[in-house]
Amino acid sequence: MIKLNKNVLAFAAGHTEIFEAFADLFAHYQSLNGKKGKTYVEFDASGKAISYEQKETQMNAMLKKEIIRRSGVSYAAEQPVETWFSHPLVQHETFAIISALVDVILPETIIESIGAYSDIRQGGWSDSFSFEIKPRDLFVVSKAGRNQRTAEVQKQFNGLVTLIPEMRELTVGTSFLRLLNGSDSLAEFAMKAARSMETAMTVDAYNAFATAMAALPTSPAATALQVTGYTQSALVGLAQKVSAYNGGNKPVILGTQLALQNVLPLDANYRYDLQSEYVKMGYVPTAFGYDMLMLPQVAAWQTPFSLVLDDTKLWLVSPSVNKIVKVAIEGNTLSNVTAPFQMANMLQTSTLYKSWVVGVATNSKM
């Protein structure tokens, strides 16, 4: 189960059932969409198998019940739903709850997408985030005469990088009536909002990561940290450099599935059958003594059917040594909803606000 962060726990004030149910629903959704290893509730209290659709229906009922509890505005079956939903407290609490639901699953999805190369921190509103960068260079040991009291004095200084989050907004047109009468799903709305925020944050982090990698030196060949054209010897040579300059910490090979499937032994005299890991996973999980980690591809929605991550690149990083990209998330998710009769065309808008920033700040070699 997903661990609830402090902002969500404070908002829940002891009533965490709805957030735990939403986390379970999201894990079920991920499992249905190919994410392996996700654990979720498979049976109800009576021991019967429970489907995703049943959970979504239950989730919408829980949401309506929680809206009534938090707003203090009761709803009776004989009462017209349009009268109830027009109450400002009902509208406020509806999207306050949705905002909290976004915060339930957002950290989990971000770590899965960019956790291999990103350090993700969350703070309160108006926080700035400082990252201390310590030098990784060793001290020079020099020969000295027996009567020489000291060698050349050496001193190292720590660096400090400060990141200040920037606000992002997501505004959608909604029919509040359709949400509350069950024609549209509140649970689906909350999940899509979280996925949208997660995608935007992932793209920001990856772009910072890719830009930093592209700036690595390509010459002279003996000291280059970037090589064009894949060979086994070039990959192992870079891995050795990264390991040596990261204090012996072994790097992992990062890439999309399309990129990783090309990492195969130089010797063509090898075999794999239909039960092999290469066939099952699409790549070899360990090659030449180094683990391989697949980065999930991300859709670039601005251009139809294009993708964000570069399928022609392999990256070598040491995840245990000062992550390359720092992601700072400020505060919780805020929401604002317009009144149903505020717009001339009767369209109601819902806006979610989330503040974050990404930056490259590391002493790690890659």
Torsion on CA atoms 2, 5, 8, 13, rounded to nearest 10: 100
- pLDDT tens for 251-310 read 999 999 999 999 988 877 777 788 888 888 889 999 999 999 999 999 998 899 999 999
The residue that leads in pLDDT, 242 or 148, is 242
| Tens of pLDDT, residues 164-219 | 999 999 988 877 667 666 677 878 888 888 889 989 999 999 999 999 999 999 98
Tell me the average pLDDT across 311-333: 93
What pLDDT, on a 0 to 100 scale, did the predictor assign at position 226?
A: 94
Taking the chain, what is the end-to-end CA distance rounded to the nearest angstrom?
33
- Asked if 292 and 282 count as a contact pair (C-beta separation under 8 A), the reply is no
**What is the signed CA dihedral for 267, 273, 275, 280, rounded to 10 degrees?**
60
Q: What is the pTM of this model?
A: 0.85
Looking at the chain, the whole-number percentage of residues with pLDDT higher than 90 is 45
**Residue ranges covered by each domain of the chain:** 6-136+157-209+326-360, 212-321
Residue 76 confidence (pLDDT) above 80: no
pLDDT surpasses 70 at 99: yes
- Is pLDDT of 82 > 80? no
Name the strands in the sheet holding 290-294, side by side, starting at the edge strand that comes first in the sequence: 286-287, 290-294, 252-255, 315-317
What confidence score (pLDDT) does residue 80 get? 66
DSSP structure class, residue 43? B
Confidence band for 318, pLDDT divided at 50, 70 and 90: very high
Q: Is the pLDDT of residue 351 over 60?
A: yes
CA distance linking residue 258 with residue 35, whole number of Å: 17
Q: How confident is the model at residue 340 (pLDDT cuts 50, 70, 90)?
A: low
Residue 305's region, left for phi above 0, alpha for psi from -120 to 50, else beta, is: left
pLDDT on residue 317: 96
Of 37-46, 109-118, 225-234, 338-347, minimum mean pLDDT range: 338-347
CB 225 within 8 A of CB 365: yes
Compute φ and ψ for 169, nearest 5 degrees: -130, 145
Mean pLDDT value across residues 338-364: 84
- What are 107-164's pLDDT values in tens digits? 878 888 898 999 999 888 888 899 999 998 889 998 888 888 888 899 999 999 999 9
Lowest mean pLDDT among 12-16, 241-245, 358-362: 12-16
Q: What is the mean pLDDT of residues 221-225?
A: 89
Q: In sequence order, what E strands does 124-280 have?
A: 129-133, 159-163, 166-174, 252-255
Query: Which strands sit side by side in the sheet containing 348-360, from one edge to the other?
Result: 118-123, 325-337, 348-360, 166-174
In the chain, % of residues over pLDDT 70: 95
